[in-house]
Copies of this chain bind each other. A is one copy, B any other.
Amino acid sequence: MINYPNGKKYNNNHTNTSASNRGMALEDDINATNKYYLETDIANIHKKPTPIQIVHVDYPARNMAKITEAYFKVPSTTDYNGVYRGKAIDFEAKECASKTAFPLASIHPHQIKHLESVLKHGAIAFVIFRFTQYDKTYYISADKVCSYYETSKRKSIPYAWFEENGIIIEYNLVKPVDYLKIIDKLYF
């Protein structure tokens, strides 16, 4: 029996969870951005499905399968990946409701290990953090996040660290989280 990571409840309706006036959570904003990238042939980047352990499936009709018992699994990779200008793209996205710091417990050790691995193999890897209280969204290179995670004795990353190490992702109506604009500057 596998619990949902951190015991958090699953929320299938992200529409009302954001502190932002736009009424959209980070995941929705990133999905909208990726959709725009895909449809305008800029990049092919997707959110991976939530990993689920299926225990029981019913077949109420010949062409129908209904899952009646399943559990959330702890993710072993990041949530998003794909390809842009020939490079592998790999990232995680985290929302933070605190004004002062991001709790490191919100990132799974597996995800840090995964980011270190994809970096080593040559992917462009990063984490998008949104501080909902400030409605600010930061791009942070994965090497900075991993290095903080591995070396700091703190249990959280103070907000000032994001201001110092992050790059603000400006809001854009058609590309709410236009992270490729930053990747263009950093890598191309």
Q: A6-14, A100-108, A133-141, A145-153: which lies at the B interface? A: A6-14
Q: Of B49, B73, B121, which one neighbours A51 at CB under 8 angstroms?
A: B49
User: Does A9 contact B65, Cβ atoms closer than 8 Å?
Assistant: yes
Q: Which residues of B contact A1 (CB under 8 A)?
A: 64
Q: Which residues of B contact A175 (CB under 8 A)?
A: none
Q: A17-25, A76-84, A157-165, A166-174: which lies at the B interface? A: A76-84
**CB of A69 within 8 A of chain B?**
yes
User: Does A123 contact B65, Cβ atoms closer than 8 Å?
Assistant: no
Q: Which residues of B contact A76 (CB under 8 A)?
A: 46
Size range of the interface on A? Answer: 35 or more
**CB of A52 within 8 A of chain B?**
yes
CA distance A83 to B77 in the complex (A): 13
11 new A-B contacts, CB < 8 A, other than A7-B64, A66-B70, A83-B90, are: A48-B49, A49-B49, A50-B52, A52-B54, A66-B71, A68-B69, A70-B70, A81-B81, A82-B118, A84-B121, A88-B123
**Interfacial residues, chain A to chain B (CB-CB below 8 A):** 1, 3-4, 7, 9-10, 12, 38, 41, 43-44, 46, 48-52, 54, 57, 59, 62-73, 76-77, 81-90, 114, 117-118, 120-123
